[in-house]
Amino acid sequence: SQQGEEDPQALSIQEGENATMNCSYKTSINNLQWYRQNSGRGLVHLILIRSNEREKHSGRLRVTLDTSKKSSSLLITASRAADTASYFCATDALHGGGSNYKLTFGKGTLLTVNP
Amino acid sequence: EPEVTQTPSHQVTQMGQEVILRCVPISNHLYFYWYRQILGQKVEFLVSFYNNEISEKSEIFDDQFSVERPDGSNFTLKIRSTKLEDSAMYFCASRLEGRDRAYFGPGTRLTVT
C-alpha cells in the first residue's frame, strides 16, 4: 500500500537555520499535503502540492514534488523556536472507483528548533 | 477560515462502554473522514463517508465502529464496546471535493480505563 514516509525521523537545529524534511511514497498520487502538529494538539494544514506541480511556496515554507522519484521535500527557512513541532506528509490518492480519495499519513519528522 | 469542530475535546470512559464522538464538518463539504492517532504514533485512516454511505474503511474499523450523519450537519463515530487500545486522539475531517485540501477538526482525546 502507498504511504508517505518522512526522513529524518527527528531533526534538531538552531534558530535561524533552515530545516529540510523529506517524504517518500510508493504509488501514484493526486496531491501531497504537509501538516504540522504541536505535541498533543491538532493537525495544522501547511501546504498542498498537486501531482502536476513541482514547487510551491508559502511564507517561509517551500515544498517540492518529484513524481518520478515519488518524493517531496519541505523546507522551512529561517527557523524559529515556535516552529518546533512534528511535521507529517500525507499522500492523497484515489482508492477504488468514483472520487474516493484518501489521505495516508507518514510517521512524521519531529523538528526541534533550539533558541 | 472555515472550521471543523469536534466534541467533546476529551472523553474518559470505562472499558466496555459505548462512546459517541461528534463532529460538525464544514457546511458545504461532501466528503467526511475519521482518523485516529495513538499517542506518539502516526495518524491512521479509519473510514471515509460520502453520499450517506461508507466509501472505504480500514482494518481498524471493525464491527465495533460505526459512523452516521444523522441530520445533515453532524458526523458521528460510535464505538460500541471500548477497549483499552481504543485510547487515542480521534480526528474528524471534511472536504468539498475528493481531491481538495482536507480540513481537520481539533480532535477528541479518548481515554479508556
For residue range B6-30, list pLDDT tens digits in order: 999 999 999 999 999 999 999 999 9
The pLDDT value recorded for residue B40 is: 86
Q: How many residues can be counted in chain A?
A: 115
Separation between Cα atoms, residue B31 and residue B93, nearest integer Å: 8
Checking DSSP bridges between strand B88-95 and strand B103-104, what pairing results, if any?
antiparallel
B91 at the A interface (CB within 8 A)? yes
The pLDDT value recorded for residue A1 is: 33
Neighbours of B53 (CB within 10 A): 8
Q: What is the mean pLDDT of chain B?
A: 94
The pLDDT value recorded for residue A93 is: 87
Whether the predicted pLDDT of B35 surpasses 50? yes
The pLDDT value recorded for residue A98 is: 64
Whether the predicted pLDDT of B50 surpasses 60? yes
- Are A13 and A21 in contact by the 8 Å Cβ rule? The answer is no
- Are A64 and A41 in contact by the 8 Å Cβ rule? The answer is no
B22 at the A interface (CB within 8 A)? no
Among B35, B43, B98, select the one facing A101 at the smallest CB separation.
B98
Q: Can you say whether residue B98 is alpha, beta or left, with left for phi > 0 and alpha for psi between -120 and 50 degrees?
A: alpha
B41 at the A interface (CB within 8 A)? yes
Separation between Cα atoms, residue B25 and residue A106, nearest integer Å: 24
The pLDDT value recorded for residue A99 is: 67
Yes or no, beta carbons of A43 and B45 under 8 Å apart: no
Separation between Cα atoms, residue A91 and residue B50, nearest integer Å: 19
The pLDDT value recorded for residue B70 is: 86
Report helix, strand or coil for A81.
helix
Separation between Cα atoms, residue A86 and residue A111, nearest integer Å: 6
Yes or no, beta carbons of B99 and A101 under 8 Å apart: yes
The pLDDT value recorded for residue A2 is: 36
Grid coordinates representing A39?
A: 505535541
User: What's the rounded mean pLDDT across residues B85-96?
Assistant: 96
Chain A residues with CB within 8 Å of chain B CB: 30-31, 33, 35, 40-43, 45, 48, 88, 90, 92, 94-96, 98-108
Within a 13 Å sphere around the CA of A89, how many CA atoms are in the beta-carbon half? 29
Whether the predicted pLDDT of B82 surpasses 90? yes
B44 at the A interface (CB within 8 A)? yes
User: What's the rounded mean pLDDT across residues B19-47?
Assistant: 95
Q: What is the mean pLDDT of chain A?
A: 91
pLDDT, tens digit, 9 for 90 and up, residues A66-111: 999 999 999 999 999 999 999 999 999 887 666 678 899 998 999 9
- Residues 6 or more apart from B76 whose CB is under 8 A from it? B20, B21, B22, B23, B67, B68, B69, B70
- Are B79 and B18 in contact by the 8 Å Cβ rule? The answer is yes
Please, what is the Cα angle at A36 between B75 and A113, to 5 degrees? Answer: 155
Q: Could you give the C-alpha distances from A91 to A25, B22, B40, B103, in angstroms and in order?
A: 8, 26, 20, 15
The pLDDT value recorded for residue A97 is: 61
B96 at the A interface (CB within 8 A)? no
Separation between Cα atoms, residue A46 and residue A73, nearest integer Å: 13
Whether the predicted pLDDT of A113 surpasses 50? yes
Whether the predicted pLDDT of B102 surpasses 80? yes
